[in-house]
């Protein structure tokens, strides 16, 4: 997965998490927020030239 794809996924999942929170779907919002953190770490690693 390329860094641009990871960044796009982060933005999409974050938007989904915000919408879920606004509609009271807290557990799913928290799950997607955690996934955003995971993707952010992958993004940071790929930007440093590491292997994902």
- Of 35, 45, 47, 44, whose CA–CA distance to 11 is shortest? 35
Query: Where are the extended beta strands (E) located within 1-52?
Result: none
Give me the pLDDT at residue 35, please.
Answer: 96
Q: What are 21-38's pLDDT values in tens digits? A: 999 999 999 999 999 999
Q: Supply the pTM of this predicted model.
A: 0.81
């Amino acid at each position: 997965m390329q860094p641009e794809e990871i960044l796009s996924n982060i933005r999409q999942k974050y938007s989904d998490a915000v919408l879920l929170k606004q509609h009271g779907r807290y557990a799913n919002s928290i799950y997607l927020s955690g996934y955003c953190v995971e993707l952010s770490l992958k993004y940071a690693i790929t930007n440093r030239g590491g292997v994902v």
